[in-house]
Amino acid sequence: MDRSTSMYVDGTYYEELGAGEAVLLLHGGGGTVESWAAQAPALASQYRVLIPERRGHGRTADVDGPVSMEIFAADTAAFIEAVGLGPAHVIGWSDGGKVGMNLALSRPELVRKLVLIGTELTHAGGTAANQALLEPAGLEFLAGAFRPQYDALSPDGPAHFDVVFAKWVQMWKTVPDIEPATLTALPMPVLLIQGDDDCVRFEHTAEVARAIPDAQVAVVPGTSHGLPLEKPDLVNRLLMDFLADPQSPKFLPLGDLNP
């Protein structure tokens, strides 16, 4: 990824590209800045793109104590204020989408538009395969996938991986559901994107979309939970279209979103 700036603010590592309205990219669980290598340059052609790494991820040190989506959202709000962004477009992938939704609910004045990519908001909203990732074999797979990048980047050193991974597992198993009924007062437009072979049940996405006053939905064909990497050009086009103002008018709306 073409990096124009990399720096820390209040202990949080982030990278920045481009200029214009602020777009905040929130990586998934175990992810890093590199997760957005296919999106950041495209978005930076029109926007100021900032990619922070959450505590215990990538180049940002861990902090004593447990973690939660609410804590990560509070950290993200503090980051937005420390950098002086004001309201930003927030795009979250997987766990990053959960952090983004918690931020939108707790600090809506900081979120101009919100995008969730491959993000279920309730345990029941995830597919059976997604739920199986919290079983021993699934957790072994996740630890093996996340450890090499952690070992290479973490300022806490490779020996600390087991500590942060245990925190993530506890968070994933106990994360509170965000019920669709709590989304009816969201003031910002929201785009829900997922692959057609993703971790989110289609029925759940439809329920969430119907609850949000201003929602759009995109299911990307032939993709999985890795859709931003699998079909980056299509995902980037969806993101750019959604972030643009004004939105293209609908010619013949006959669907059942927000009836």
Domains of the chain: 5-243 (3.40.50.1820)
pLDDT in the model for residue 2: 52
Residue 192: closest CA among 217, 166, 160, 163: 217
Q: Is the bond preceding 246 in cis, omega lying within 30 degrees of 0? A: yes
List Cα–Cα distances, 222 to 60, 77, 84, 225, 230, in angstroms: 34, 34, 39, 11, 9
How confident is the chain (259 residues) per 10-residue block, as mean pLDDT?
Answer: 78 97 98 97 98 98 98 98 95 98 98 98 97 97 97 98 98 97 97 98 97 97 98 98 92 81
Q: Which residues pair with 26 in a beta bridge?
A: 92
pTM: 0.96
What is the Cα–Cα distance from 54 to 78, expressed in whole angstroms? Answer: 12
Q: What is the mean pLDDT of the chain?
A: 96
Give residue-wise pLDDT tens across range 12-70.
999 999 999 999 999 999 999 999 999 999 999 999 999 999 999 999 999 999 999 99
